[in-house]
Amino acid sequence: MNFENLMRQRYSARAFLADPVPAGIIRHILDVAQKTPSWCNTQPWEAVVTETPAATQRLRQRLYDHAAAGGEPGPDKPFPREYVGAHDTRRKKCGAQLYEAVDIARTDREARARQMLRNYEFFDAPHVMLVFCHESLGFYGGVDCGLYLQSFMLAALDQGVHSIAQASLAAYPAVVREHFDVPADRHLLFGCSFGYADERHPVNRYRTERAGIADAVTFVRE
Ligand SMILES: Cc1cc2nc3c(=O)[nH]c(=O)nc-3n(C[C@H](O)[C@H](O)[C@H](O)COP(=O)(O)O)c2cc1C
């Protein structure tokens, strides 16, 4: 696929087939993502990837149990304080599209909570990547890792592999650090579940919208 098609066709997959991605393809995707630019070429992303469904399952069980038991989120990097104006409108629209796709009513809090917990089951994906960054790098380390995430997702799609970025997987960093024996000075930024999308599942059949460039860009002419 060319770059424009990758950008236009990528979407967040929330239902995956069980088939694992061959290790060679996972490594190829990661190798392409290594080309991501970063502040002074520091390349601060430190990724942990479950290469086998068994490894994915062990983390899934651990995280899901923690989240389902009502574990209090304590992300290393604060989640958004509030959503103002258009951010709030777009966030609500994106939530409404998701719940409509899986036939969950606005008022059905229990079903919404269950759907939220699907994050911690990695939407049944056979693989998950957790991305850490040294805490000393602050905001720009996060920027670099965000670029890496996009590279990863596009390189994956180029191999027919779908994915979903998940900040929800950064809600319980202590659990993930302990599970993978990651030092405390590595901050957990996000996760990314990946595998082959179940394209017939209704949750994968809607697409989010984007504002036009007039809403995002100020053009200056003199
Ligand atoms: C940094 C980041 C974190 C995200 N976290 C979650 C998440 O925890 N759960 C989820 O279902 N989607 C998550 N998403 C997916 C967004 O909801 C999605 O990208 C957005 O609605 C646009 O839709 P699209 O990816 O299908 O184009 C995240 C996306 C990004 C970039």
The pLDDT tens digits of the residues spanning 39-52 come to 999 999 999 999 99
Which of 6, 10, 12 for mutating ligand 1's site (highest number of atoms within 8 Å of CB)? 12
The residue contributing the CA closest to ligand 1 atom 31 is 165
Residue type for position 100: E
Tokens of 140: 């720009």
Which residues have CB under 6 Å of ligand 1? 11-12, 94, 119, 164-168, 190, 208
Q: Which atom of ligand 1 is nearest to the CA of 11?
A: 26
Q: In whole angstroms, what is the distance from residue 145 CA to residue 119 CA?
A: 20
pTM of the model: 0.98
What is the model's pLDDT at position 71?
87
Domain-embedded: residue 130: yes
Residue 182: CB atoms within 10 A of its CB come to: 17
CATH number of the domain to which 183 belongs: 3.40.109.10
Q: In whole angstroms, what is the distance from residue 78 CA to residue 74 CA?
A: 8
The residue contributing the CA closest to ligand 1 atom 4 is 166
pLDDT at 200 over 90: yes
Confidence band, pLDDT 50/70/90 cuts, at residue 1:
confident
Q: Say how many Å lie between the CA of residue 56 and the centre of ligand 1.
A: 20
Domain-embedded: residue 100: no
pLDDT at 131 over 90: yes
Q: Say how many Å lie between the CA of residue 27 and the centre of ligand 1.
A: 23
Domain of residue 29, residue span: 13-80+120-204
What is the model's pLDDT at position 205?
97
- The CA distances from residue 193 to 49, 135, 169, in Å, are 9, 23, 9
Domain-embedded: residue 93: no
pLDDT tens digits, 63-109: 999 999 998 999 999 999 999 999 999 999 999 999 999 999 989 99
pLDDT tens digits, 163-196: 999 999 999 999 999 999 999 999 999 999 999 9
What is the model's pLDDT at position 211?
98
Domain-embedded: residue 18: yes
pLDDT at 37 over 90: yes
Q: Say how many Å lie between the CA of residue 135 and the centre of ligand 1.
A: 23
Domain-embedded: residue 115: no
Q: In whole angstroms, what is the distance from residue 176 CA to residue 60 CA?
A: 10
Domain-embedded: residue 110: no
Q: Which atom of ligand 1 is nearest to the CA of 208?
A: 23
Domain-embedded: residue 142: yes
Q: Say how many Å lie between the CA of residue 165 and the centre of ligand 1.
A: 5
Domain-embedded: residue 58: yes
Confidence band, pLDDT 50/70/90 cuts, at residue 198:
very high
What is the model's pLDDT at position 179?
98
Count of structural domains within the chain: 1
Residue with tokens 């911690």: 120
